[in-house]
Structure 1
Amino acid sequence: MNFALVLLLLLLVTGGIWLLDRLMLAKRRGPQDKEPWWVEYPKSFFPVILLVFVLRSFLVEPFKIPSGSMIPTLLVGDFILVNKYTYGIRLPVVNWKLIEVDSPRRGEVMVFRYPENPSLDYIKRVVGLPGDRIVYRNKRLEINGQPVKMVKNGEYSYVESGLNLVRALLFTEYLGGHPHAVLINPSAPDLQLAGVRQFPFRDNCTYNEDAMSCTVPPGHYFVMGDNRDSSSDSRYWGFVPDSHVVGKAFLIWWNFGDFKRIGTVIR
C-alpha cells in the first residue's frame, strides 16, 4: 500500500470539504443549525492530516526494519527515523526533486525505493557515488583503486529466520569518514553469482566467482548491506537512481524487544 498516496487523497478530500464549507456551506446555515456529520468530521481531521502529511513528506518519516541485511547496525524490529530533506526537498508521491540540498555521501545509511519494485522501500549503506569504480574482491571493498580499511573486532552471532544460528566475523569498516560495523561470514561464498540479475547499466559491471567490479553511472549510487553475506544489494540488482532516493536514516526511536536501542544514533 502506498501510504503517501493514501495520505494525499485523505488530505485532498478533507481539505476540499473544509474549503467548501468555508466558502459556501457555512454561509447557508442558520445560527442555530448544526454542521452535518460529513462536514464536521472532515473539518476536524483536516488539520491533523495536514500536519502529518507535511512532517512525513518533507521532514521526517518513520520506517521499520524488516530484514537482517543491515545487522549489526540495524536489527529486525528496529523502528527508525529518516531525514527527508537532507538529500533535497522532493514532491510527495512522485518523488520529484524540487530543491537541491545535499547528495548522499559514502558511508551514510540511506532509504530508497527498490529499483526493481519502487513500491518497496529498502535501506542500505551508500558505498559508491557517481563515477566511482567499486571492486568487491575476497570480501573486501576497493573504491577507485584504494582498499577500504577494515579492522577485525572479534565475532558476532545472531539468529536468522528459521531459527538458524549464524556465526560471523565482526569488523569495523572505515568508509567515507563513517566508521561502522560490518559482518563477514567466512563460510559463505564471496558472491552468489546465481543471484546476479539483469539491470540498467549492467555492462558497467564484471563478475567472476570471487570478485565483482562496477563503475557507478551518473546520477546513480552503489549500495550494500552491513551484513555482507546476507544482503541483496547493488552487487545483485544494480544501481539506485537519484530519483529513487527517499532520505537519510539517522535514529532508532523504538524497539519492542530491546529498549536499550531506543535513541541510538545510526552511524
Structure 2
Amino acid sequence: MVGEEGKVGWRRRTVAVLVALCTPAGAGHGVLGRWQRGLAWFLALLLLQASLLFTGVAGAVLIVVLQLGSIIDAALLRPSSRGLPSTGRAAVLAVAFLLSGQAAARLNRRFIAEPFWVPGSSMEPTLLQGDQFVADRTVRTPWQWQPIERGSIIVFPDPQKPEQDFVKRVVARGGDTVAIRNGVVLLNGQPLERKLVGSCESAEGPTEGGDCEEYEEVLGSRRYRVRHDLAFAHEGRFPAEDGRCPQGLEPKDGGCAVPVGQLFVLGDNRTNSYDSRFWGGVPELSVKGVAVSVHFSLGPDWHVRWERLGQPVR
C-alpha cells in the first residue's frame, strides 16, 4: 500500500515538474497541494517583472533564475501533509496560475514596461539594428507621471502603417518651432549645441565610405550622438527652400511650428531616417513608451553584442 502511494506521489511530482516547465513560477506547487508556497514564488515573479524598469538586464536574469528555482523546488518538494489534491482540483490550480500569469504579463507590458526590437538603422549610432530595449510605459495614461521630455527616445505607431512601430528621438514639443540648417537643429530659433566626434563607426567596425560623420548633440540634460551621411541627398535643410511644412505643422519664423499636444521627432541617423520632416508631428497620446535600456542585442551575423547589454538609452 505504501509503495502504491509512493508511486502516486512520484507520478504527481513528475506532473508538477512538467507543469512548472510550461507555466509561471508556482504553478507546479499547486499540483502538489502546496499552493501557498507556490503563491509565494508567483508573487516574487510578479514583483521582478514589475521592477524591470529599474533592474534592467539584472532583473531579466533574476526572472530566469527564479523560474528555474521554482522548477527545482517543485521537483524536490514533498506533497502536502494533508494529501494530494484531486486531479481535477490540481488541474484547476495549474490553469489558474497560468491565466493569472498571462494576465499579469499583459498588464505589465501595457502599463509598466515592454520590450521592443529595433528593426532598422534610423536610430544609429544610439540604437543599432537588432537591439532590444525596455520601454517605460508609465508615460502613457492612466499613469503619465511626467511629460515626455525633449531628447527622449519614444516608441509610437507608424503614421502611415499603425500596425508597425517607429522609434525616434523627440526634439520639440507642442508650441516649439523647429528648423534645420546644414545639419544643425534650430529649436525656437536657437541652434542645439553640437560638436564633431569623428567619422562614423558602428558596433561592427568603421562604416564604408569617408563621407559620414558623427556629432555629439546636446538637448536639455541629454548628450547623444547623431550621424550625418553626406552621400544621402535629402540631408539638406528643413523646411525646404519653398518654406512649406509637413501636414499639420505651420510655417513660423523660418521653421515649422509644432501643434500643442504633438511631438516633433527625428532619427539619430539624420540623413537616413523617415521622420517628422516628412510626415509631421506625433500625437502625444499615441506614444507607447520611452526607451530606457538595452537588454539584448543581436548583430547581423546572429552574434550577441554582449557589450551592449544593460546600456542605458541616452
Q: How does 1:4-15 map to 2 (within 5 A)?
A: none
State yes or no: 1:266 paired with 2:313.
Answer: yes
- SS in structure 2 at match of 1:223: strand
1:43 aligns with 96
Q: 1:127 aligns with which of 160, 165, 171?
A: 171
Q: Distance in 1 between matches of 2:260 and 2:85?
A: 64
Tell me the matched-pair count. Answer: 216
Match of 1:184 in 2: 228
Q: Say which structure, 1 or 2, has more relative contact order (CA 8 Å, 6+ apart).
A: 1
Q: How far, CA to CA, are the matches of 1:159 and 1:213 in structure 2?
A: 35
Partners of 2:181 and 2:236 within 8 A in 1: no
| Structure 2 CA distance for partners of 1:120 and 1:166, relative to 1, 3 Å | farther
> 1 or 2, which has the higher helix percentage?
2
State whether structure 2 residue 276 is matched by structure 1 residue 234: yes
Mapped pair 1:171 → 2:215: yes
Alignment TM-score, normalising by the size of structure 2:
0.62
Match of 2:127 in 1: 74
Report the Cα offset of residue 149 of structure 1: 1.0
Is 1:250 matched up with 2:250?
no
> How far is the alpha carbon of 1:188 from its aligned partner?
2.3
Cα separation, partners in 2 of 1:37 and 1:223, compared to 1, 3 Å? same
SS in 2 for 1:98: coil
Separation in structure 2 between the aligned mates of residue 176 and residue 115 of structure 1, nearest angstrom: 27
Contact 1:114 1:244 in 2 (8 A): no
Which one of the candidate residues 144, 147, 162 is aligned to 2:188?
A: 144
**Mapped partners of 1:100, 1:128: distance in 2:** 19
Greater shift after overlay, 39-48 or 136-145? 39-48
Q: 1:239: how far off?
A: 0.6
Using the alignment, how far apart are the partners of 1:78 and 1:32 within structure 2? Answer: 46
Residue 157 of structure 1 contacts residue 166 of structure 1 at CA under 8 Å; is this kept in 2?
no
Give 1:201's aligned residue. 248
RMSD (Å) for aligned C-alpha atoms = 2.9
Q: Tell me how far apart the structure 2 counterparts of residues 235 and 137 of structure 1 sit (CA, whole Å).
A: 13
List runs of 5+ in structure 1 lacking aligned partners. 1-30, 89-96, 207-211
Would you tell me which structure has more strand in proportion to its own residues? 1
Q: CA deviation at 1:157?
A: 3.9
C-alpha offsets along residues 162-206 of structure 1, whole Å, 9 cap, x if unaligned?
A: xx935510100011221100001123222497xxx996415x158
Deviation at 1:247, TM superposition (A): 1.1
| Superposed structure 1 runs of 4+ greater than 6 Å apart | none
Unaligned residue ranges in structure 2 (runs of 5+): 1-83, 299-303
Larger Rg: 2
Of 114, 120, 125, 1:61 maps to: 114
**Distance (Å, rounded) in 1 between the aligned partners of 2:203 and 2:144:** 41
